[in-house]
Structure formats: C-alpha cells, structure tokens
Chain A
Amino acid sequence: MNEVLRINNVTKRFGGLVAVDRFDGYVKQGELLGLIGPNGAGKTTLFNVITGMYAPDEGNIVFLGKDISGHKPHEITRCGIARTFQNIRLFSDMTVLENVMVSQHLKLRNWLWFFKSIVKTPDSIRMEKQMREEGLRLLRRVGLESFANEKASSLPYGLQRKLEIARALATDPKMLLLDEPAAGMNPQETSELMEFIKQIRSDFHLTIMIIEHDMKVIMGICERIYVMDYGKLIAEGNPQQIQSNPVVIKAYLGEEVLL
C-alpha cells in the first residue's frame, strides 16, 4: 500500500512549550489510523499543523507527494484533506443543507464565478443546482435528508456530529481527520458512529485519521495506532500491541501500576 501522508520530523512550539516534538509518521492509503494520548499530549495541535491552522516550526508534511507545510487551511482543504473539530463547529444559523453546500464552494476556483453568480449566468445557475443536488445526495447517504431544511443548531447532538462529518465529506476529500468524534456520545450513539466511520471509509474511498479518548472506538476500528505524550510519539502499533505496551500504560496510568 502506498503512502498518502508523511509527517517529517514536525515540531510546533508555543513560546517555551513544545506542543509537538519532532513527530515522524505516515498514513497509508485507505488506512484507519488512531491517534491517542493523555490530555495535552499535542494531538489536536498535530491536526492543526496538518490542516494548516498552524505552520510547523520545523519539519514538513507531504500529502500525495506534495509538500503542504506552510500552506493556508483553505489551500490544504482543496488538496483533499478535510477535518472535523473537537468542539462542534457547525454554521449553526444555516440549514443542514446549506452547511453541506458551503463545503462545495471550493469548486468555484476563480473570481470570474463571483461576477457570474451576481449576474446569474446559465452556467452559474447550473452550478448552483448541481451543488444543491450533490448536497442532497450526500445528506441522503448519511441519513440526514429529512433534516435538510432544519437549522443546524436544532439537530440533536449526535446528528450534529454526523453533520460535521458530512460537511467535511462534501469538500470531496481523499483524507479525513476526525477530532474526537465520539466525545459526549452515549454507548448506543458511539457504536452507531463506529459503523458510520467504517461505512464512509469504504463508500468514499477515504483514508481516515482519528483522535479519540474512547478506547472502545480506537481499539474497535483502528488498524494502527500512534500514541503521543508531551508532544512526542511514544508508541506505534496495532490495537493489541498498544494495549500491552508498557510505555503506553505508563503514560496513561503512571509508573506504579507496572510495579
């Protein structure tokens, strides 16, 4: 299997704090990769560096053979990396359908479209119609079509999480980064989410990287896991290897447990 993403020796500092410390890693095509670690280990910061929210202080990130480090977030999304957020960040005053349609805005690559959409040329009307249809098709695939005209903020929590994933999918990504998708969910919702993630991976031919504290999710769906602590990569392996890795247990529970 070939590599989709390579993270080369990435470091991100905030003043004196080294949030990500010389992180080296890779993600293979079609893989479901877990990223775990205690609170404050630098997992979300690593996501923010990959998606361009922060530029790395050292090292670089190569996505599909192209160095994307230092690129702006919207440029990276256009390259094919989409993400969700730890705390839900929906466009809450817009409808469910509009949320998904916003993600298709990146299809309008040059500013000629701006004038076309004011004058409403035939091809801009066609484009608008196409966006709407594609948005509805996507909502149907994730099972949110009955809420298409509801406000995003009126959805129940679990569905808001789902909508956030659907919105990321609407950018037509090759790789999806999920930041704690199961946070705040009950066991029923969590197991539905696990099925959902596996489903979209095969449906959309995605490579998925997932941060999660719920070990049931990580151990249940991930094929490979990276463990971070204090910004460093401390362990790597499949779920069984990680569960029995003394370094990981130490990071989570402290030294005494092993004695």
Chain B
Amino acid sequence: MEKTLPNNLKFFLTIVLIFLIGILLFLANNKASEYVILILNLMAINIIFSVSLTLINGITGIFSLGHAGFIAIGAYVSTLLTLSVSQKEMTFLIKPLIYPLNQIQLPFLPATLIAGLVAAGFGYIVAAPSLRLIGDYLAIATLGLGETIRIIANNAWSITNGALGLKAIPPYTNIYWSWGWAFVTVLVISSLVKSSYGRALKAIREDPIAAKAMGINVFSHQVVSFVLGSLFAGVGGALWAHLITTIDPKSFAFSKTFEILIMAVLGGLGSISGAIIGASIYTVGLEFLRVLESPFKIGFISFPGIPGMRMVVLSVLLIVLMLFWQRGIMGRKELSWDSVYALVAKRLKKRGGNDE
C-alpha cells in the first residue's frame, strides 16, 4: 500500500524548500567567492537548458538535436538588445549593424523575454516541416537546423558580427535572474507535464498512432511542446550570454547540444526532477574534476597537468553510469514528496526490523 501525504502538507513543504533554497542563494550571493557564484549561475542556466530539452526529447519523444541553435538565437537577440549604442559601433568594425538594432538599447528583462519569444518563433517555423519526419530523420533534420543557425551567425556580419562575435556584453546575469528563470522554467514545464496536456504528450511519446486514435492532435501537440522548449532555451541563452559576457558562433556548436543531452540523459530522459539533478551533477562534477588537470604528485613521481583530462574521466564515468543505470538516475520517475516519504518510511521500518 502506497502512502501519500495530504496535499496541504506537500504544498507547505514545497514552499519551505523554495524558501530554504532562496536563503542559501542569498547567503551565497553575499558571502561566497565569485567562482562559486559563477558555478551557481551556470547550474541554474544548465537546469533551464536540460529541463527544456527534457520537455521536447523526454516527455514528447521528439528526438531533437537542435537545442544549441535556439540557445544561440536567444543569446544573440538579447545581446543585440542590451548592448549600448556606442558599444555596438565599436564592435561592428567590418560591417555596421543594420538599422533598427543599432539604435535601441533595452533593459535586461524585456531583452530576455524578446529573446525567448524570437527563439520560440523560430521553433514554430522549423517545427512544422521537421515534425513531418520521425525518429532518426527528425534527429538529423534538427541537428542540421542547429548547425544552420550557427553558420548563419558566422556569416551574417551585419547582424551577428560574424566570427568575431560580440564582446563586452553587460554582465546582467546574477543569482536572482538565473535562479528566478530556472524556477519559472521548472514551474511552467512541470505544471504542464502534470496536466492533461502532459499526459497527451507522454501518450504521443509512447505511441503516436494510438494517440491519434484517442483524439489527440499529435502534430499540433508536438509543435507546442517544441515551441515551449525553444522559448526556454532562448531565455537560457540570453542569461548565458550575459553571464559569460562574450559570445561567438563557436560557442553554439553541436557539442553544446550534446552537453545538454548528457545532462538530461544522466538525470533520466523523461523526468523533470531528473533533468534538474543531471544538470546540477554535470555542472558541479565538471568543476570538481578540474583537479585532474592540474599537476599532482604521487610519492616521488610528479605528473604534469594534462588539459582535457577531466573530459576523458567524465566520459568514462558516464559510460559506467549508463551501464548500471540505463535510464539515468531517475528514469522516468519524478521526485515527489510522496516518494521521499516512502523512502524515509522504508528506511525507518528497516531499522525498526533490525532492532528486534
């Protein structure tokens, strides 16, 4: 018999948890080093990326590999809106920036919102043709799409400043922006997944033909999921650009999509809480593995630091993880207060059993 907690208590616990996270972030913002703050920001942005990819890939079952493209759109659009007019003149040396963009400067919030909406608009435009494909073909089409956006960014000198990229982006992203948006992303997407629409999306993942026969408009649901995922990818891209403060087309290569896919798969493709866990572990883990790249000594022998070593170790760790946890850490399950409670109850019961 599964035990469930009353809804009021769950709501209360959630509020307390959010409050605690808020306090921790506030403390970190005031006390922690800049390095830790940077990692915390990256963690939040990676959560946005992996949760939005999970909606598309894990919940709806559209195997999309074009996430980096939408991140690029979000990053470029927001940057072009927040850079000051004089900075734009200084940056665009080879070809001047086209008209309306070279005259405007917006605050961070509207720039982020517009970035998200433009990414969503692109998502809508590309979803219609590419969602007519299925499986591997869809994956290749979206992969090509992501690369197309990168190559456009590389060549549209009068909009993106080509391969030189954009520099001196105002560092607007702080803990509150990044975690605030991460919170909104998780809230919106998990609220959607829990609703009837979420069930419909999962049904499409399980069996599109049966979903059609049950009265679900498979195509329009897939498009909506894709557009919503792109929207948050765009927002995340905007935050990322204003954290790193310099972007160029190379930052949005296929490896970016792959990185996010690793986070989502690590946490369990199809689980929102898994995506959060995956993104956190990946971000923090990568930093811990930095030790491997610095010179170290074992006994008499000293090893020089090998750059890139942490990626080798990370790959091995991922392979081992996938061998033992084939569906990621969470699988398709969600972490809920009920499951935490069940786990604790089981532990207590076990201990009680041992005492006898």
Binding site for B on A (CB under 8 A): 51, 53, 72-74, 77-78, 82-83, 85, 89-94, 98, 101-106, 108, 111, 113-114, 117-120, 124, 127-128, 131, 149, 167-168, 170-171
Can you identify 15 A-B contacts, CB atoms within 8 angstroms? A72-B212, A74-B214, A74-B216, A85-B210, A85-B213, A91-B207, A103-B215, A105-B214, A108-B197, A113-B197, A117-B191, A118-B191, A118-B195, A119-B191, A128-B196
For A149, what are the chain B residues with a Cβ–Cβ distance below 8 Å? 2
**Given A94-B202, A117-B191, is A77 in contact with B196 using a C-beta cutoff of 8 Å?**
no
**B196 to A127, Cβ gap below 8 A?**
yes
Residues of A contacting B215 in the complex (Cβ-Cβ under 8 angstroms): 74, 77-78, 103, 105-106, 171
Contacts A106-B214, A149-B2; is A117 near B332 (CB within 8 Å)? Answer: no
Interface contact A103-B197, CB-CB below 8 Å: no
Which residue, of A114, A118, A128, A131, has the highest number of chain B Cβ atoms within 10 A? A118
Which B-chain residue is minimally distant from A125 (CB atoms)? B195
Q: Is the beta-carbon distance between B212 and A94 smaller than 8 angstroms? A: no
The A-contacting residues of B in range 118-173, CB under 8 angstroms, are none
State whether B196 touches A108 (Cβ < 8 A).
yes
Residues of A within 8 A of B2 (CB): 149
A147 to B2, CA, bound (A): 13
User: What are the 6 A-B residue pairs with the smallest beta carbon separation, nearest first?
Assistant: A106-B215, A117-B195, A77-B215, A91-B206, A89-B210, A73-B212
* B217 A72 Cβ-Cβ under 8 A: yes
Expressed in whole angstroms, the Cα–Cα distance for A149 and B1 within the complex equals: 11
Any chain A CB within 8 A of the CB of B199?
A: yes
Q: Is B218 an interface residue (CB 8 A)?
A: yes
A131 touching B196 by the CB < 8 A rule? yes
* Residues of the A chain whose Cβ atoms lie less than 8 Å from the Cβ of B200: 102, 105
Given A92-B206, A93-B332, A124 contacting B195 (CB threshold 8 A): yes
| Shortest distance between the CB of B4 and any CB in chain A (Å) | 11
Interface string of B167-207 (1 = CB under 8 A from A): 00000000000000000000010011001110110110011
Q: How far is the CB of A227 from chain B (nearest CB, A)?
A: 25
Closest Cβ–Cβ distance, residue A242 to chain B (whole Å)? 29
- B193 → A minimal CB distance (Å): 10
Would you give the shortest CB distance from A216 to chain B, in whole angstroms?
A: 27
Assess whether B224 is interfacial by the CB under 8 Å rule: yes
Residues of A within 8 A of B197 (CB): 105, 108, 113-114, 117
Report the separation of the CA atoms of residues A82 and B188 in the bound assembly, to the nearest whole angstrom. Answer: 32
Closest CB in chain A relative to B156 CB, distance in Å: 34
Find the residue from B2, B200, B206, B218 having the highest chain A CB count within 10 A: B206
Closest B-chain residue to A104, C-beta based?
B196
Q: Given the complex, which residues of B lie within 8 Å of A53, measured CB to CB?
A: 209, 212-213
CB of B25 within 8 Å of the partner chain: no
Task: List chain B residues, Cβ under 8 A from A120.
Answer: 191, 195
The listed residue (A51, A91, A105, A111) touching B196 by CB distance below 8 A is A105
Q: Does B211 contact A (CB under 8 A)?
A: yes
Q: Closest residue of chain A to B200, judged by CB?
A: A105
Contacts of A127 in B (CB 8 A): 196
Minimum C-beta distance from A136 to chain B (A): 15
A77 to B215, CA, bound (A): 5
User: Would you give the shortest CB distance from A58 to chain B, in whole angstroms?
Assistant: 23
Q: Is the CB of B195 within 8 A of A103?
A: no
Residues of chain B lying within 8 A (CB to CB) of residue A92: 206-207
Within the complex, the shortest CB–CB distance from A68 to chain B, in Å, comes to: 14
Are A102 and B213 CB-contacts (below 8 A) given A114-B197, A128-B196?
no
Cα(A104)–Cα(B196), bound, Å: 8
Chain A residue nearest to B202 in the complex (CB): A94
Check A82–B213 contact: CB distance below 8 A. Answer: yes
A102 and B216 contact, Cβ closer than 8 Å, known pairs A94-B203, A128-B196:
yes
A74 pairs with B195, CB closer than 8 A: no
In the complex the two chains form, what is the Cα distance from A119 to B211 in whole Å? 25
With CB as the reference atom, state the residue of chain A lying closest to B188. A118
Establish whether residues B196 and A74, one from each chain, have CB atoms under 8 Å apart when the complex forms.
Answer: no
A102→B191 contact, CB < 8 A: no
Q: How many whole Å from A92's CB to the nearest CB in chain B?
A: 6
Say which residue of A51, A104, A105, A118 sits within 8 Å of B213 (CB atoms).
Answer: A51
Other CB < 8 Å A-B pairs besides A77-B215, A85-B210, 9 of them? A73-B212, A82-B213, A89-B209, A98-B202, A102-B211, A102-B214, A117-B195, A118-B191, A127-B196
